[in-house]
Structure 1
Amino acid sequence: MTVTRATALAAAFSLALPLAAQAEEVVVFAAASMKNALDEVAAQFQQETGHTVVISYAGSNALAKQIIEGAPADIFISAAVNWMDEVEKAGLVAEGSRSDLLGNTLVLVAHGQDAAPVGIGEGFELAALLGEEKLAMALVDSVPAGQYGKAALEHLGQWEAVEPSVAQADNVRAALALVAQGEAPYGIVYATDAAADDNVSVVGTFPADSHPAITYPAALLTGAADDADRAFFEALSGDAADAVFAAEGFAILN
């Protein structure tokens, strides 16, 4: 029997169908501060499995509200427990799936690579350091990085003097961009954000006891319906992902 080119192609296509049918899409809503690390974790997962991972990055507050309002997502990773709490209260977290994934550190960054270090503690006068300039922060009443930053400044007795100088951004990466572009000389961001941009330098680290612990809870959502969703969620706490997160400066909590 002679096998024509058309027959061979048809056979190859029919063999490929089951594999293609197994590929699934995983939709992840994640805190903006995770972008560099999570993009790398997702790329590794896609290469190894053939599944597609689609990630939406924003402030955890905005993502939580979108999920509660019905946005289709399979996994949520928040930069604060309170916004995961809201999603869980809405009945949208898959039972037993929630866990604390990562931790982070809060830092003061300055524009450029050669800024002078600042001692953040007793005698720290941020308002004097700013002068007539602005301090970039994420939204202080809703975005976790902004909430942590405000709490730290209140603890240090600096908030009242600094508040009129705060330039608020929609998320922590937007606040970082203000400093990187020189639109604000200083900003409060996570250590992992500072490490992701060569146009800023860390000039000080806020004491851990000056703000609530920075915790990133992760959870499968009730809309997660296939094996790919569960596989990527499990991969987030695997050795390969831990190595990526640690290299980016996150603390591994799982």
Structure 2
Amino acid sequence: MTAQNRLTLHLISDSTGNTIASAARASAIRFEGAQLQTEENVFVRTREQITQIVERVQQPALILHTLADQKLEEHLVSLAMQRGIEAIGVLDTTVRAMTRHLGSPGPSMPGQQHRVDQNYQKRISAIDFAMAHDDGVDTGRLLAADVILVGVSRSSKTPTCIYLGYQGVRAANVPLVPHVPAPPGLLAAIEVGVMVVGLVVSPARLAQIRAHRLVALDRGATQGYADIDTIRSEVSEARLFFERHDIPVIDVSRRSIEETAAAILAKLRKRAT
């Protein structure tokens, strides 16, 4: 059985887990011949529980969840993104479709499947935007962003954008590739005044992060990807770009995703006043 035919589904529910388990079983039937394992986690209602669950996850894996508490959901998605694990709210697509017909649903409590507050549509739109504009995709539409995060590879751009999406912020991210000019769409956004924030990481920390990433992907050294001298050059080039375009910088070397997002939100609020 190849790795492509194996998958562990980690089910996370703040109640009995019956709904998510049924959805997983119904979906699994369609993949005859695949080696699927299921790990069920029920009555999950604290950040500590979520952290412990995510730390146990080994690839290939997929996290499916029904969490009523928005902050717990944000914490789960943030941790999963940091580890390169896809986390899906199994009712999101259904609720989104019903919302188009019925308007925003009312709030619910844990055990009632999913919590959707008055900002649901805004958050869903922002999350969709972040996913559609991840890692330099569709830079021609960056003018629609509330904020654009820019930085070298593995500077936490993607998970921060997803986290901001859960706050209703339309965040895009663009990677800075060594010796490659910035995309015209990014330069145009800078020119018209879209908020752009540079994320930087200390070379030593970035080398550590990239080395762990290569191990997780079961790859050896890839053209200096985790080489400290190469990284120093990348970081230096990125800082010069930020200085040249007067872009504010946040050092994320020792910041959590939540802390980085909070700093960006503070900048957005300051600009709005």
TM-score of the two chains, using structure 1 as the length reference: 0.29
**Relative contact order (alpha carbons < 8 A, sep ≥ 6): 1 or 2 greater?**
1
